[in-house]
Amino acid sequence: MNKSELIDAIAADAEITKAAAGRALDATMAAVTKELQKGGTVTLVGFGTFYVGERQARTGRNPKTGETIKIAASKSPKFRAGKSFKDALVAAKGKKKK
């Protein structure tokens, strides 16, 4: 599912226009991004938590030359699924036909 398909699904489920659904999705993504930029977390009970993961600086190896290189510390967005979201996926997997 891509963004436009998600907007279509939101509009149909919420019985709103596609334009309103698009604005709502954009506002949601902007709010999540803004909170993560501040170093916070966004928890949607029953769905999951968005948070910032941090990687320590480390040494690596250039696969082409074999040279040792320093890899800087970095931050990246992460998502941890909530229990009911995981349970819904397990239940859906059980219903799937092979």
Q: How confident is the model at residue 96 (pLDDT cuts 50, 70, 90)?
A: low
Spatial contact of 70 and 57, defined as CB atoms under 8 Å apart: yes
The pTM for the full model equals 0.77
pLDDT for the residue numbered 93: 76
Q: What domains can you pick out in the chain, each with its CATH number?
A: 3-95 (4.10.520.10)
**Residue 90 clears pLDDT 80, i.e. is over it:** yes
pLDDT digits (tens, 9 = 90+) for 51-87: 999 999 999 999 999 999 999 999 999 999 999 999 9
pLDDT for the residue numbered 78: 97
Q: 35, exposed or middle or buried, with CB in 10 Å at 0-12, 13-18, 19+?
A: middle
Task: State the Rg of the chain over Cα.
Answer: 19
pLDDT digits (tens, 9 = 90+) for 16-55: 999 999 999 999 999 999 999 999 999 999 999 999 999 9
